[in-house]
Chains A and B, each alone.
Chain A
Amino acid sequence: MIWALLYYYLFGSGNQGLVMDVAKPVKAQVQDEAKAKQIIELNKAMLKAEAELGKQQKEAGKELAKLNKDRQASEAAFLVIHAALEKQRSDTRKQIVGGRFKMKEQMTAAQWQAVYAPTEPPN
């Protein structure tokens, strides 16, 4: 129950807010086509890394579900799965944050703001 909710849905990748498909706003904001193309490629790589982590997380969720059925499963067994996934999360985050800064280098502050500014009003 609770751990399944945590794993499948609550934790997510931890990269929410960093990874989103920004191809459209980049095309609209960055007039230099070559530069826009570079930025979009970086963005695609970040999205791919995030999707791959999603798959790994799903697998970890399945492993946890299987383990959970064993009432006498040890805590250590759960922690092994958790630790492996945390390592994957950490590696993916480095890749995504690195990509974020490479994208930023190609954009002005105004372009960045226009691409990433929230489109929905605050609460």
Chain B
Amino acid sequence: MRTPRPALRRASAFMPAFAVAGLLLAGLGATGCSKKPPLIAEQQVDANIEEVKKVLRETVPDQPRLDQMLNLADRGSEQLRRSATQLEDLLMEQQRLNLDYKATPEAFQALGERLQAQRKDSFTKAMAIRFAMAKMATDDEWKKLTSEKLGLMGL
């Protein structure tokens, strides 16, 4: 089992205060009082991916295709973790930069560009997984995977 990063572990302590639709971020912008960058709860990511896999197991009848889709779901989970880690590092850097009285506008500009590039990269990779999954699913399976009932726990 993976050992979560200290910051990710710390997220669980904030869960009651910051839970939104079952997910959480303990963030500066989100709360206006904490001075920690946003965190995503590993527990929630795990719960989400398990729910998706459960629906896949219940819905996809043929084993080879099911295996491939379960693999995609796992890749999605890993991607989310990587994105969270990358973003957390950048936001810690931003917090340090903001604290620096002598920091220049150019430094903020450069960091803003890195944040934007990180979002684009994460989004592109997430989209690739989504489209691979959509290609493998039937219309009925997709409907179940994206049902209102599942909400954010679905695809």
Interface residues of B in 107-133 (CB under 8 A from A): 108-109, 112, 115-116, 119-120, 122-123, 126-127, 129-131
A32 interface residue per 8 A CB criterion: no
Which residue of B30, B45, B73, B105 contacts A12 across the interface (Cβ within 8 Å)? Answer: B30
- Give chain A residues whose Cβ lies under 8 Å from the Cβ of B116: 14, 86, 89-90
How far apart are B106's CB and chain A's nearest CB, in angstroms? 11
Bitwise, A52-88 to B at CB < 8 A (1) or not (0) is: 0010000000000000110110010010001000100
CB distance B155 to A1 under 8 Å?
Answer: yes
Interchain CB contact (< 8 A) of A16 among B27, B123, B130, B152: B27
Q: Are A50 and B29 within 8 A (Cβ)? A: yes
Q: Is the CB of A86 within 8 A of B127?
A: no
Q: Which A positions have Cβ atoms within 8 angstroms of B?
A: 1-6, 8-21, 47, 50, 54, 68-69, 71-72, 75, 78, 82, 86, 89-90, 93, 97, 100-101, 104, 109, 112-113, 116-120, 123
Beyond A112-B99, A118-B99: 19 further Cβ-contacts under 8 Å? A1-B48, A3-B126, A6-B123, A8-B20, A10-B25, A14-B115, A17-B37, A17-B95, A18-B28, A18-B98, A20-B29, A20-B32, A68-B155, A75-B127, A78-B127, A86-B116, A116-B35, A119-B35, A120-B34
In the A-B complex, the 7 residue pairs with the closest CB atoms = A17-B95, A17-B94, A71-B142, A21-B32, A2-B76, A123-B6, A109-B101
